[in-house]
Amino acid sequence: MSSRRARNLTATAVAAVSFVFASAIPAHAAPDWQTYKANSDWKCGDDKPHKVSRDLIFQTCIVKGERKAQAVLVVSNRSTKDVVLPMARVHSNGLYGTGVENEVQCGGMFGGSYTLHGGQARACFAPTVPVHCADIVAYGKLWANSAGVDETYNVVARPGC
């Protein structure tokens, strides 16, 4: 076999294997803490200091689009000290159905804890889903350090119809 043909076969095999693995990745990645940039499509509830510290601020937001929306839990560490976030959940009955099994979770269980460094802000994004013309309510829960869970104020939004 010529070296040219061997290279072609190798390239084809690598492409096929890459396609198989790329196809196995879900349409939206598992939720995790991400940086974010809010804009006019974001409708957020009031800031709430977490019971672990008045410098750990969190809120629930709904990102509205044309006939689609997603719930987001935003957390800001306004102190100079790190905060460990063992777990967070964000949910909207209007977007994802009822019940704790439909809450989107960041960290916890097998996801592990996330360290939010002083001065950082991060968001936990739930999936974007199609919506009808209706008011949508979203809420979030945040575990921090060893203080346990605290809940955000609800946010209400009406996506574009």
List the alpha helices (DSSP H) in the chain.
3-23, 93-96
Are 121 and 98 a contacting pair, CB within 8 Å?
A: no
pLDDT tens across 48-84, in order? 999 999 999 999 999 988 888 999 999 999 999 999 9
For residues 111-121, average pLDDT: 91
What pLDDT score was predicted for residue 9? Answer: 41
User: For the residues of 140-159, what is the DSSP string, one character each?
Assistant: EEEEETTTEEEEPPPEEE--
Q: How far apart are CA 123 and CA 15, in angstroms?
A: 35
Q: How confident is the model at residue 29 (pLDDT cuts 50, 70, 90)?
A: very low
Question: At residue 43, does pLDDT exceed 50?
Answer: yes
Structure tokens at 125: 């994004």
Q: How confident is the model at residue 111 (pLDDT cuts 50, 70, 90)?
A: low
pLDDT tens across 127-151, in order? 998 988 788 889 999 999 988 899 8
What pTM was computed for the model?
0.75
Q: What CATH number has the domain spanning 29-157?
A: 2.60.40.10
For residues 85-100, average pLDDT: 84
Strands (E), 6-154: 33-34, 42-44, 48-50, 53-65, 68-77, 83-85, 87-91, 104-107, 114-116, 121-125, 129-130, 136-144, 148-151
What pLDDT score was predicted for residue 1? Answer: 52
